[in-house]
Amino acid sequence: MRLTRTIAFWLLAAALLACHVIVIQHSLGARLWEDEAFNLTVPRNLLAGLGYASDGALSGSTITLFDPRISTGPTVLLPVAAVLAFGADPVIGARMVPLAFWVALIAGLAVLGRRTAGLWAALVAAAVPLAFNGLGSVSPIQGPTDLLGEIPAAALLVWALVVLPRRAWLAGLLVGLAVQAKLIALLALPGFAVALWVLAPGRGWQRIVQTLKRSWLPLVLVGTPTLLVEIAALVSMGPAAFVDHLRGLAWFVRGGGQHVAPTTVLQKIETLAGAWFVPPWVAIATAVLCLLLIAAGLLSARGGVEQRSDAEKQPLMLIAGSVAGALAFVGWWSTAAHTPLWVRHPAAGVLAFFPVLVIGAVWAARALLERVAVRGAVRGASAGVLVALLSASLAWSVTGHVQQTTLPRSETLATQRVDVGPIRDWVQLTGTEWLAANPWGAAIAPIVLSGAHVGLFDAPAMAGTPQLTGKSCDTQTLVEGSRYRVCAAP
């Protein structure tokens, strides 16, 4: 039986690795979409000597230092600049950085799974991110290599959980770097506060005091990356511009930069339930199964937290911290009526904490099965059935993700490059520095691929600037590819 289990494990591990490779390969060749392209302007401008600045397409269409509308931060974009400095392809090279974070995310989850509930939990945890479907909106996560901050933030949060029991200071630094990958990672702080409380010794007020003592250094280090970034912004911009930058950042954090009809909690929950490669009812049932297993496992455990050894506190820390973290992300997003139905908003928390909750479910099932001889076979059989259903749901979802890669795509990075070729040649021949996108959306990426700076057609700074569009020109057509064309300024 042991040999059979070993063979089955490694066959499944190899199949999961193949699924990851297929999805990564598909993601590398996906179309460059507007948010990725806009993020790419920052490392490009940095290497051009313009500072840590975007093209400012959403901020007046001028070079904008520390643009608050770029919510993907230096933790991601500075490594991209380093990769591009070695002459890498601008898109593929840039996508290597999120890919590295994806690998780190999977590795971190596998470490947590192995440490908490054995090799099978590691395998299950490494599969959960593939079950997530970020494509269901106009602001998607196309795949693991998208030049966005959500996956890097999730990876850093997971590794913060890995190191938290022994190096809380390092966990704080990793959370701080996650915040500078994606600002919304700040919502992870309640989860780490709860995790620190579980790990603290003592009981009652003594436990609270110990938690506070252990928290001050990690909390300082959480804020250190952001402090360094803002000091760099102050030095680069000067006091007056820095104050405007802080105001713009505060406005963006409060409002999300979107103007949409108010959304409801039910709509948000429906959107999250639909963000998996299984029907929504299966996703909801799977979540309920995990929570049932965790609840049963915790209820069957004897003694309080303070009576447990450090090793026994590990699964409790992960479960408590991940419940608090997941609730913070999903709770904020579902109640934030001003935010659209984009599952990308809570994605960092979903990718970091949901897989850890699955690890908790596997741990709970294992704990229940170990008590079969004492508490009866019914409980053990029930745990086994629930784990089987969880595994089936996960396998269904991962298979759906792989199947999605076989669907025909209307546009890929390769077809974009072919279409932009004539426009890029024209930009180089004429020395055109700026092109105006008409409107924001699919026109952004072709401009970035052409090598020009990108602005918006209705910005005053773009008066007299040629416009790139996918529509027909109302003015003279200066150059065109099969999908896009450049029109003379009206």
Instruction: Mark whether 470 and 338 lie in a shared domain.
Output: no
Instruction: Mark whether 381 and 249 lie in a shared domain.
Output: yes
Residue 178 amino acid letter: A
Distance CA 434, CA 427 (A): 9
Distance CA 166, CA 278 (A): 38
Count Cβ atoms below 10 Å from residue 231 Cβ, excluding itself: 11
Q: What is the pLDDT of residue 2?
A: 78
Taking Cα atoms as reference points, which of 152, 140, 151 lies closest to residue 33?
140
Q: What is the pLDDT of residue 200?
A: 82
Contact 315, 357 (CB under 8 A): no
Q: And the tokens for 489?
A: 């300024």
Residue numbers of the domain that contains 480: 413-487
- State the burial class of residue 270 (Cβ atoms within 10 Å of its Cβ: 0-12, 13-18, 19+): middle
Contact 468, 448 (CB under 8 A): no
Count Cβ atoms below 10 Å from residue 294 Cβ, excluding itself: 23
482 within domain boundaries: yes
Instruction: Mark whether 250 and 333 lie in a shared domain.
Output: yes
Q: And the tokens for 180?
A: 């500078």
Q: And the tokens for 129?
A: 């991110």
Contact 486, 478 (CB under 8 A): yes
Angle between helices 280-300 and 310-335 (to 10 degrees): 140
- For the chain, the domain total comes to 2
Instruction: Mark whether 440 and 464 lie in a shared domain.
Output: yes
Adjacency order of strands within the sheet including 485-487: 453-456, 434-437, 467-469, 485-487, 477-480
Instruction: Mark whether 372 and 427 lie in a shared domain.
Output: no
Which of 346, 380, 404 is the endpoint of a domain?
Answer: 404
Instruction: Mark whether 477 and 328 lie in a shared domain.
Output: no
442 within domain boundaries: yes
* Helix or strand run (H / E) with residue 64: strand 64-65
Residues in Cβ contact with 313 at an 8 Å cutoff, skipping those fewer than 6 apart? 165, 198, 199, 305
β-pair partners for 477:
487
Phi, psi values for residue 482, rounded to 5° = -75, -25
45 within domain boundaries: no
Half-sphere exposure of 260 (CA within 13 A, CB side): 15
Instruction: Mark whether 189 and 131 lie in a shared domain.
Output: yes
476 within domain boundaries: yes
Instruction: Mark whether 399 and 440 lie in a shared domain.
Output: no
User: Alpha helix (H) ranges present in 48-182?
Assistant: 74-85, 90-117, 119-131, 150-163, 168-179
64 within domain boundaries: no
Which of 404, 439, 466 is the endpoint of a domain?
Answer: 404
42 within domain boundaries: no
Distance CA 163, CA 172 (A): 10
Instruction: Mark whether 321 and 204 lie in a shared domain.
Output: yes
The angle at the Cα of 437, spanning 37 to 48, to the nearest 5 degrees, equals 50
Residues in Cβ contact with 321 at an 8 Å cutoff, skipping those fewer than 6 apart? 161, 164, 191, 192, 194, 195, 198, 353, 356
Give pTM, 2 decimals. 0.94
Which of 353, 385, 404 is the endpoint of a domain?
Answer: 404
Phi, psi values for residue 367, rounded to 5° = -60, -40
Q: What is the pLDDT of residue 487?
A: 96
Angle between helices 90-117 and 119-131 (to 10 degrees): 140
Distance CA 408, CA 31 (A): 13
In this structure, what DSSP letter does residue 252 have?
H
392 within domain boundaries: yes
Distance CA 55, CA 62 (A): 6
User: What Cα–Cα distance (Å) separates residue 284 from each residue in 94, 288, 360?
Assistant: 35, 6, 17
Instruction: Mark whether 394 and 429 lie in a shared domain.
Output: no
Count Cβ atoms below 10 Å from residue 189 Cβ, excluding itself: 17
Instruction: Mark whether 383 and 439 lie in a shared domain.
Output: no
Instruction: Mark whether 186 and 242 lie in a shared domain.
Output: yes
Peptide bond into 280 cis (omega under 30): no
Contact 220, 170 (CB under 8 A): no
Taking Cα atoms as reference points, which of 483, 476, 374 lies closest to residue 422?
483
38 within domain boundaries: no
In this structure, what DSSP letter does residue 149 have?
S
pLDDT tens for the chain, 490 residues long, are 778 888 888 999 999 999 999 999 999 999 999 999 999 999 999 999 999 999 999 989 999 999 999 999 999 999 999 999 999 999 999 999 999 999 999 999 999 999 998 898 999 999 999 999 998 888 899 999 999 999 999 999 999 999 999 999 999 999 999 999 999 999 999 999 999 988 887 777 777 788 888 889 999 999 999 999 999 999 999 999 999 999 888 888 776 666 677 899 999 999 999 999 999 999 999 999 899 889 888 887 655 555 566 667 888 999 999 999 999 999 999 998 888 899 999 999 999 999 999 999 999 888 877 765 545 555 555 656 667 778 888 889 999 999 999 998 889 999 999 999 999 999 999 999 999 998 899 999 999 999 999 999 999 999 999 999 999 999 999 999 989 999 999 8
